[in-house]
Structure 1
């Protein structure tokens, strides 16, 4: 998993509430277990018409936001089913941070496991960031995980809270497998001891 330390990039505004995981990545794309390739289908039903043509009015189809790295969203983002494909699709598109007043619990946890920083801020602060994002590609926002701040293109800064362990994992690029491998020596020692004491196991 890639480390997340600090990014400065374009933020796409999506002021919709209750964006569920089926909106993020529809069910027909859940057949794969690969974490790559889903970016092109992110927000598929909002992004394309029935013939597969881009809907020009959708934010990520607009030239200013095609390379967005940050998403400023509405309340209860990521609700619905618990599909891990939702953060996979966001990450594969290039989104590394989602900012919203609240998230569905499982989606929130899945983001950390897949290298995405979900930031919870009060609605009034999200509103400021949403307006900043609406300025387009010339307005670049900075998300600093180490210092736990988000800074607008005009220099206004907001602090955010984050669990210390989740912060550690993102800063060091540690998913569940990497965390387990960090204990490799202790696991090997335990297995060797078990083999000596209970060779029949």
Structure 2
């Protein structure tokens, strides 16, 4: 799994509340047995003009030229609610989404993000709106920077690929559980994180077998 430490990119606002996993990827788009190919079905009900077509809807934010290369989503409260389908996270990841910022998430979706290398950031609603206002002025230049080491999101104005010097970016802090932060920073899934303690697990196993040899 790719490590997430610091990421700067274009952010797209999708500020509706209760965007569920069926909106993120409709069930009709889940035809494959692998994680590959799901990005094309991301937000298919909104992204395309017809249910089973691929003609882009010009009104949908990710189809608009100014949001080309979006890697951060700004969402409304309870993003990722609904079913537990992990395909929703796989589709976001394959599309290129690195982080989702919202006032709240569906619980299962939140943990699926962590396990698949996407950072879910919880901020206050007014903070999310402030970030959206910033990016909407000029999405390609008014980017967001997310620092997972120090747990903050900042507003950045860029020229070309470099931040403009002399500007003090506004930032908002967020919290994340240490174990989840470690998984993302080190690029580990749940199994890999557990295996970091392999020697302790082996020591416990051996001590347990010595104490209860009849269970071996």
TM-score, normalised to structure 1, is 0.90
Do the aligned partners of residues 173 and 161 (structure 1) sit closer, same or farther apart at CA in structure 2, a change above 3 Å counting? Answer: same
Residue 95 of structure 1 pairs with residue 111 of structure 2? no
Which residue does the alignment assign to 1:171? 185
Question: Which whole-Å deviations, capped at 9, do the CAs of 1:47-101 have from their partners, x for residues lacking one?
Answer: 0111320001111111222311110011110011011111111111010110011
Q: Which residue of 2 aligns with 1:128?
A: 130
Q: Number of residue pairs matched?
A: 200
CA distance in 2, matches of 1:35, 1:181: 24
How far apart in 2 are the matches of 1:20 and 1:145? 25
Tell me the SS of whatever aligns to 1:69: strand
Partner residue, 2:88: 86
Match of 2:47 in 1: 47
* 1:28 shift after superposition: 2.0
Structure 1 Cα separation of the partners of residues 54 and 152 of structure 2: 39
| Partners of 1:119 and 1:88 in 2: CA distance | 17
SS in 2 for 1:153: strand
Mapped partners of 1:186, 1:165: distance in 2: 17
Shift of residue 170, structure 1, vs aligned partner: 0.6
Partner SS state of residue 35, structure 1: coil
- Runs (4+) of structure 1 exceeding 6 A deviation are none
- State the superposition RMSD in angstroms: 2.2
Residues in 2 aligned to 1:123 and 1:184: alpha-carbon distance in whole angstroms: 41
For the residues of structure 2 that align with 1:174 and 1:93, how far apart are their CA atoms? 21
Counterpart in the other structure of 1:3: 3
Residue 133 of structure 1 deviates from its aligned partner by 2.2
- Partners of 1:106 and 1:181 in 2: how far apart? 23
Cα 1:49–1:83 shift into 2, 3 Å: same
Q: Pick one of 64, 67, 90 that aligns with 1:65.
A: 67
Residue 163 of structure 2 aligns with which residue?
Answer: none
Paired residues of 1:5 and 1:146 also in contact (CA < 8 A): yes
**Cα displacement (A) at 1:198:** 6.2
Matched, 1:160 2:174: yes
Is residue 101–residue 128 contact of structure 2 (8 Å, CA) maintained in 1? yes
Q: Is the contact between residue 30 and residue 38 of structure 2 (CA under 8 Å) also seen in structure 1?
A: no
- Cα distance in 1 for partners of 2:135, 2:214 equals 61
Give the TM-score, by structure 2 length: 0.84
